């Protein structure tokens, strides 16, 4: 009951007509809490989403209703879902805004409360290590971080952490072939195991029988393999899933928790081969743009990218475009199309040599973060996350100057004038 007190605080004491949103196991906790504090009379109604099968059903003596049907007499809305609080909160706030009604909303199980209200298993890997060392064996870690360039780059500190904490251990990183060059030169990785997809990697990990094997499973529960669509299972911390992972922090922070480790928040590094060179003429000053990510919902509109580049080039700056395909159409000699270059090590050199990096939230943005590159990253609402923060390190510390959020809207709502103004501010006055 002390944990409940930490979660709910004293906010609820001053309200009379409290509406509870949610009928799951999160809501089950609140009734004994209210009963102990003799506050049951303050609960006015229990509501759920409009299409919930619970509508009209009995829940702790209350007939579950739709929120829109009880707003007139509501003093405060308490969201008591433990897994989907952010999704519900956004839904509630949209409804209130639409109806122009001002009612306080309390997110009972928000990010901070998650740690107070439920046990996150952060000792899974440590316990495995202790068991192995007790048998006088040397741990062999298999990092299961297979898909998405951004995920692989962001999670680099996991290998470093394992090697530093267990110096004699062996680290194998399992990754798709297209991302091999990201982990191949990492001095904290002893071996890279190339796979075609997450399903193949999962099958391999499930087949491991050695007593000293420890799988560092960085993929959240029920993630679908991009190739086979087969569901990947992770029962270490299954509450961290596709709909909740950004509630727990950056990609690195969330994925380290998913794997059953203490949260890691270190700055990521990008390890170079030492053989790749920047194809851009030495001494040329330029900005890099990357216009298209792996998900269209993260992308700014093509016409806006073209207008932005046209204006920047017209000012006399060189613009280099990277990516899998060109989005920019520009005949100026100051526009350089490098989308035909797909070698990650070479692209990293292009990013490293730029004055600034302009992009959406993409895998290449994670490389720029490793280089602490001045940037304008265009980001907006992603799925049900209003302002996700994928990064640790430089872009997390310098978020205000490097990330342009669309204030809870899609990245599409950002206008060219807004972005152009910020780009020009960052460009050095070398002309």
Query: Tell me, what's the pLDDT at 238?
Result: 85
- Across the range 298-308, mean pLDDT stands at 97
**CA dist., res. 301 & res. 327, Å (int):** 10
Tell me what percent of the residues of the chain surpass a pLDDT of 90.
Answer: 69
Residue 12 has pLDDT above 80, yes or no: no
Query: Tell me, what's the pLDDT at 122?
Result: 92
Range(s) for CATH 3.40.50.720 in the chain? 2-117
Residue 187 has pLDDT above 70, yes or no: yes
Of residues 283 and 215, more confidence is placed in 215
DSSP count for the chain of H helices, then E strands: 16, 19
Question: Could you say which DSSP state residue 385 is in?
Answer: B
Query: Tell me, what's the pLDDT at 348?
Result: 98
Nearest Cα neighbor of 27 from 75, 82, 91, 92 is: 82
What are the backbone angles phi and psi of residue 11, rounded to the nearest 5°? -60, -40
DSSP assignment string, 308-372: HHHHHHHTT-EEEEESSS-------TTEEE-TT---HHHHHHHHHT-SEEEEES-HHHHHHHHTT
Options 3.40.50.720, 3.65.10.10, 3.40.50.2300, 3.40.630.30; CATH of 2-117: 3.40.50.720
- Strand ranges (E), 103-227: 105-107, 140-144, 170-176, 191-195, 213-217, 223-224
Q: List the alpha helices (DSSP H) in 362-402.
A: 363-370, 394-397, 399-402
**CA dist., res. 198 & res. 400, Å (int):** 35
Residue 82 has pLDDT above 80, yes or no: no
Q: What is the CATH number of domain 286-426?
A: 3.40.50.2000
**CA dist., res. 155 & res. 267, Å (int):** 10
The model's confidence at residue 111, banded by pLDDT at 50, 70 and 90, is low
Cα–Cα distances in angstroms (integers) from residue 253 to residues 162, 249, 392, in the given order? 15, 5, 8
Tokens representing residue 70 in the block: 């009880």
Query: Tell me, what's the pLDDT at 431?
Result: 45
Helices 302-314, 416-426: crossing angle, 10 deg rounding: 40
- Across the range 112-141, mean pLDDT stands at 85
Q: What is the CATH number of domain 124-258?
A: 3.40.50
Query: Tell me, what's the pLDDT at 118?
Result: 54
**CA dist., res. 241 & res. 258, Å (int):** 9
The model's confidence at residue 177, banded by pLDDT at 50, 70 and 90, is very high
Mean pLDDT of the chain: 90
- Across the range 33-54, mean pLDDT stands at 85
**CA dist., res. 218 & res. 264, Å (int):** 12
Residue 6 has pLDDT above 60, yes or no: no
Residue 51, SS3 per DSSP: coil
Residue 8 has pLDDT above 60, yes or no: no
Q: For the chain, what is the radius of gyration of the CA atoms?
A: 25
Range(s) for CATH 3.40.50.2000 in the chain? 286-426
Could you tell me if 75 and 103 are in contact, meaning their C-beta atoms sit under 8 angstroms apart? yes
**CA dist., res. 37 & res. 2, Å (int):** 12
Return the minimum-mean-pLDDT range out of 113-117, 210-214, 418-422. Answer: 113-117
Residue 362 has pLDDT above 80, yes or no: yes
pLDDT in tens, 376-401: 999 998 987 888 899 999 999 999 99
């Amino acid at each position: 009951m002390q944990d409940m007190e930490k979660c709910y605080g004293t906010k609820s004491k001053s309200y009379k007509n409290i509406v509870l949103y949610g009928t799951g196991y999160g809501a089950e906790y609140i009734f004994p809490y209210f009963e102990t504090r003799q506050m049951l009379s303050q609960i006015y109604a229990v509501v759920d989403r409009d299409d919930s099968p619970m509508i009209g059903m009995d829940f702790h003596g209350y007939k579950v209703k739709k929120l829109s049907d009880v707003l007139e007499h509501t003093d405060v809305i308490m969201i008591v879902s433990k897994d989907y609080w952010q999704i519900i909160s956004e839904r509630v706030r949209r409804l209130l805004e639409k109806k122009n009604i001002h009612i306080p909303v309390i997110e009972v199980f928000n990010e901070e409360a998650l740690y107070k209200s439920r046990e996150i298993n952060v000792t899974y890997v440590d316990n495995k290590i202790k068991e192995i060392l007790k048998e006088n064996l040397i741990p062999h870690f298999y990092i299961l971080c297979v898909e998405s360039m951004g995920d692989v780059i962001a999670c680099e500190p996991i290998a470093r952490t394992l090697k530093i904490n267990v110096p004699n251990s062996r680290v194998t990183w399992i990754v798709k072939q297209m991302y091999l060059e990201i982990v191949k030169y990492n001095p904290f990785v002893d071996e890279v195991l190339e796979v075609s997809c997450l399903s193949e990697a999962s099958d391999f990990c499930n087949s491991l029988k050695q007593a000293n094997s420890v799988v560092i499973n960085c993929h959240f529960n029920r993630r679908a393999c991009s190739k086979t669509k087969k569901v990947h299972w992770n029962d270490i911390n299954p509450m961290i899933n596709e709909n909740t992972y950004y509630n727990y922090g950056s990609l690195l922070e969330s994925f380290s928790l998913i794997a059953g480790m203490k949260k890691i928040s270190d700055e990521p590094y990008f390890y170079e081969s030492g053989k790749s060179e920047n194809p851009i003429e030495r001494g040329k000053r330029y900005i890099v743009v990357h216009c298209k990510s792996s998900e269209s919902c993260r992308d700014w509109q093509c016409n806006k990218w073209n207008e932005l580049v046209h204006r920047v080039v017209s000012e006399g700056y060189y613009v280099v475009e990277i990516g899998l395909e060109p989005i920019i159409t520009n005949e100026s000699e100051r526009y350089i199309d490098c989308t035909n270059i797909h070698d990650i090590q070479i692209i990293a050199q292009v990013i490293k040599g730029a004055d600034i990096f302009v992009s959406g939230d993409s895998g290449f943005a994670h490389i720029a973060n490793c280089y602490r590159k001045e940037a304008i990253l265009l980001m907006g609402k992603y799925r049900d996350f209003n302002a996700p923060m994928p990064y640790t390190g430089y872009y997390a510390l310098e978020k205000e100057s490097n990330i342009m959020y669309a204030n809870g809207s899609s990245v599409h709502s950002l206008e060219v004038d807004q972005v152009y103004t910020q780009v020009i501010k960052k460009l050095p006055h070398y002309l």
